[in-house]
Amino acid sequence: MLNVTTIVIAVAGVVFGVLGVAVGLRASRRAARSVRQCAELVHGAVGSRGTVDPRALRDVGILRYDALQEMSGQLSFSLALLNALGDGVVISSINGRAETRTYAKPVVGGKGAQELSPEEAQAVHAARLGTGLSALVPAPAGRRDRAAKRTAART
């Protein structure tokens, strides 16, 4: 009787041991798969052809300027937000003493879907080059000349 009980306990131990090893192997494989998937996400390989998602906004360009003769301090701006393909939007805010106007224009392939102002085109160009976060950019030549004449007329 003792021998039968010992054999049953031994067989049960072996069965549970084999089940434990099988469960452990399965858990190890699932953990390895999860680690591999996380590594692929970190390296950008999932869903984006091995690189960062080209649709994500990544290029930023901002240009501050004096848009109106009545204002100084470069309070007007054009902000370009583009993805890796050059698609996105350029937002411009023209600030005057009495009013502020804001415009948004689509950009496709680095070019405006609508005609861009020189400042908007410069913001898009700066974003595409990766130099778009400069704080202040001198006004275009035509505006500089008008500002110089204004200053000369006051003195």
Contact of 106 with 91, CB cutoff 8 Å: no
Distances (CA, A) of 103 to 1, 63, 80, 140: 93, 14, 12, 20
For the cut 90, the answer to whether the pLDDT of residue 120 exceeds it is yes
User: What tens digit of pLDDT does each residue of 85-97 get?
Assistant: 889 999 999 988 8
Q: What pLDDT was estimated at residue 136?
A: 47
For the cut 80, the answer to whether the pLDDT of residue 43 exceeds it is no
d(C-alpha 67, C-alpha 76), whole Å: 6
For the cut 50, the answer to whether the pLDDT of residue 135 exceeds it is no
> Where does the pLDDT of residue 154 fall: very low under 50, low under 70, confident under 90, or very high at 90 and above?
very low
d(C-alpha 96, C-alpha 103), whole Å: 14
Please state, rounded to an integer, the average pLDDT across all residues of the chain: 80
